[in-house]
Amino acid sequence: MRKISARAITEAIYQAIRKISFAPDPDVTRLLKEAQNNESSPLARDALSIILENHRLSPTLQIPLCQDTGSTILFAEIGIEACLAEPLSQSLNRAIIRAQQEIPLRASIVQDPLFPRVNTGDNSPGIVHITQVEGDGLRLTIGQKGGGAENTSFLKMFTPATGANDIVEYITAKVLAAHSRPCPPLILGIGIGGNFETAPLLAKRALFEKLGRPHPDPQYRALEEQITEGINAAGCGVQGLGGNHTVLATHILSEPCHIASLPVAVNVQCHAHRHITVEVSRETN
């Protein structure tokens, strides 16, 4: 067994949060530049210039990419031959609290969603999803997600009689109805299949795929393109200012589902797409 120290995990998560809070994903910057070159609306072109200027200044001035510095989501792949010194949630929360205090980041979490919504004051707790894999490694995908885009995400339990075009129509209508609220241009993570709880998880995982990667299945690749192109043709545009770039990329992940079901979940992400994947080093206690 390989023992992985709590200190190494906390440090890896802290450094990851620090990096993504300032440094834009180079793939987002690339897609924004492509959008700027092909944008039909002068107003939207101006808005893209401002977003790209923000990408340039954020790491230089060490000012977070967005005022909503986000809540922390962790997807962990833990090898069956790896042994962690403490529950992963504890290491994660220590890293979050340190990041909130030292960087600093906005405290964006309330202790209870309804009664009485008191801020925890340190941005903890984060959300952890764990998958067991072969080997003795620990691979962590960390995201900082803002509330505005998350609020416009959605799930629908379709029936198996639903066709791909019906799904495209539904997603297009929902994304356009959100208009400027999720801060377009957007990235759409779509989970198809699984069940009521796993389709949204697939959708979030889909967000963290390498941006602009072609889907390995040509049918899903065509569906991704159809969704992106359909929404972009509708004219909402950058920050709702019109033009032809509401969506930068659409990623679909799918998995088996019950014969009576067809769950479809969409996780909407803004252009402040902060995420990274790291392997925790081989340091031990």
Q: Which residues bind ligand SF4 (CB under 6 A)?
A: 66, 68, 146, 148-149, 182-183, 270, 272
Q: How far is the CB of 176 from ligand SF4 (least distance, A)?
A: 16
Nearest distance from C-beta of residue 195 to ligand SF4, angstroms: 28
Residue with smaller CB distance to ligand SF4, 183 or 190: 183
Other beta carbons within 10 angstroms of residue 175's beta carbon come to: 25
CB of 69 to ligand SF4, least distance (A): 8
Q: State the Rg of the chain over Cα.
A: 19
* Helix H or strand E segment including 221: helix 218-233
Q: Kind of pairing, strands 186-194 and 262-269?
A: antiparallel
C-beta closer to ligand SF4: residue 68 or 224: 68
Between CA 110 and CA 124 the distance in angstroms is 9
CA–CA dist 203, 107 (Å, integer): 25
What is the spatial distance between Cα 189 and Cα 36, in angstroms, rounded to a whole number?
22
CB of 152 to ligand SF4, least distance (A): 9
Q: Which is nearer to ligand SF4, 91 or 269 (CB)?
A: 269
Q: Among residues 147 and 160, whose Cβ is nearest to ligand SF4?
A: 147
Q: Which is nearer to ligand SF4, 54 or 261 (CB)?
A: 54
To ligand SF4, the closest distance from the beta carbon of 243 in angstroms equals: 17
Q: Which residue is nearest to ligand SF4 (CB)?
A: 146
